[in-house]
Amino acid sequence: MLAGFGSRVVATFAVHFAAPAVAIFLAQHVEAVPNGGAATLHSPGSGWRRYLTPLTSRPVKRTFPTPQDAEAAFYEALEKGELDAIMEVWAEDEDIVCIHPGGPRLVGYEQVRDSWAQIFRGGQRLRVQLTHGVVLAGMMLSVHSAHENITVPGEPRPRPPVVVTNVYLRTATGWRMIVHHASPAPVPPSRPAPDVPKVLH
C-alpha cells in the first residue's frame, strides 16, 4: 500500500472515481519504495515484486518529469493518431488497465496497444479539450479526473463529452500512465417547458 498521502489518494480514488476492479488493482498492487525511489507493483500471494521499468524488447524513448507532462504527451499522440507516441506514455507492464467508452476492460501492454492500433487505423483525427479537471497528487501516484470534449473536423457539432480518469505512476523512467478509464458522460436532464399562462378572450 502507498504510505502517507499516497494511501489517501488511493482511497479517495477508489471511492469517487474508479470502477471497483480498478480500485482493487490500485489498493492491492501499488506500493511505495523508500527513499524516494520508483513505485513497485506487487502481485498478492505470488511472492514476486518488480519495478516498473521498460521491457528490453520495447525501449522507452522519452521521460516525463511530471504527470502533467505525461498527460500532455498522451493527448497530443491521441490527436495525431500516433501509436508509438501514445504507448510511450504507458508503463511497460502487464498490469496496466485501459477501458474505452462502452468497451471491455483491457489488461496488459499488448491488449492496450492493440486497442489503440485499432482506433487509429480508422484515420480519424480528433480534437480533445479537457474540462472539469480534478487532480489528486501524491509522491508516487497522481489521479486525474476530467471531461474529454471531442470534436472531429467535418462534423457539424461536438461529440457528447466523455468522463475520463487517468492514473499516473512515478517509475524509474519518470511518470507513466497505468490506468485510462473513459466512459460516456451522463446526459443532463432536459429542462421542462415553462408554463405558459392561459389568456382568456
- Residue 99 belongs to domain with CATH number: 3.10.450.50
127-137 and 141-151 strand pairing: antiparallel
**Would you say residue 113 lies in a domain?**
yes
pLDDT value of residue 171: 94
Q: Please state, in angstroms and as integers, the Cα–Cα distance from residue 95 to each residue in 1, 8, 92, following that order.
A: 16, 22, 9
**Would you say residue 190 lies in a domain?**
no
Torsion of CA 65, 110, 75, 62, to 10 degrees: 30
Task: Give the count of domains, the chain.
Answer: 1
d(CA 173, CA 103): 30
Averages of pLDDT over each 10 residues, the chain, 201 residues: 44 45 50 49 43 48 92 96 96 95 95 96 85 94 95 79 96 96 79 56 46
Whole-prediction pTM? 0.66
Phi, psi of 7 (to 5 degrees): -65, -35
The three-point CA angle 110-70-154 to 5° equals: 80
The residues facing 42 across adjacent strands are 49
Its domain, for residue 41, covers 5-56+63-184
pLDDT value of residue 16: 45
pLDDT value of residue 193: 53
Q: What is the DSSP letter of 46?
A: T
Closest among 159, 134, 138 to 149, alpha carbons compared = 159
d(CA 154, CA 67): 32
**Would you say residue 200 lies in a domain?**
no
**Would you say residue 131 lies in a domain?**
yes
Phi-psi region of 119 (alpha: psi -120 to 50; beta: other; left: phi over 0): alpha
**Would you say residue 191 lies in a domain?**
no
**Would you say residue 125 lies in a domain?**
yes
